[in-house]
Amino acid sequence: MANAFDLIARILISTLFLISAYNKLFSIDGTMGWMEGYGVPGILLYPTIFLEIVLPLFIIIGYYARISAGLLAFFCLITAFIFHNDFSDQIQLILFFKNLGLAGGFLFIVINGTKNWSVDKEKKYVRL
């Protein structure tokens, strides 16, 4: 049962990034303009989309999940402080803490790894 919950948790925490990458992919000009409004070069959108697709998929399948989770935790912290630092706006405050919460969830994966249902799980062999 722990394996199932672990997989479900990895899917749930990763889904937001897959949806976000999809939305960015189909609104490149708007997203670039939004990023540039915060002083972030719009060209960084392309590596962002790549990371928001690849790293969550790695977490879901359990392939280098700890490294991927660490990178996404860092990504969440950076985006929280760059894009959601207007604490007078309640929505921005909520988004800031959402990113902090996601970073915390990813740090759980960094610390604990994944259960048995993952690509990287070490197989235990018995010598005969």
d(CA 18, CA 51): 10
Close Cβ partners of 100 (under 8 Å, ≥ 6 residues apart): 76, 77, 80
Residue 104 scores a pLDDT above 80? yes
Check if the beta carbon of residue 14 is closer than 8 Å to that of residue 60. Answer: yes
Instruction: Report CA-CA distances (Å) from 3 to 31, 104, 112, 124.
Output: 37, 20, 13, 17
Check if the beta carbon of residue 113 is closer than 8 Å to that of residue 65. Answer: yes
Domains in the chain: boundaries: 2-112
To the question of pTM greater than 0.85 for the whole model, the response is yes
What average pLDDT score do residues 25-50 get? 97
Residue 97 scores a pLDDT above 70? yes
Query: DSSP class of residue 35?
Result: H
Residue 127 scores a pLDDT above 80? no
d(CA 70, CA 67): 5
Instruction: Report CA-CA distances (Å) from 14 to 5, 30, 79, 97, 117.
Output: 14, 23, 16, 17, 16
Rounded percentage of the chain residues whose pLDDT exceeds 90: 90
pLDDT at 113: 92
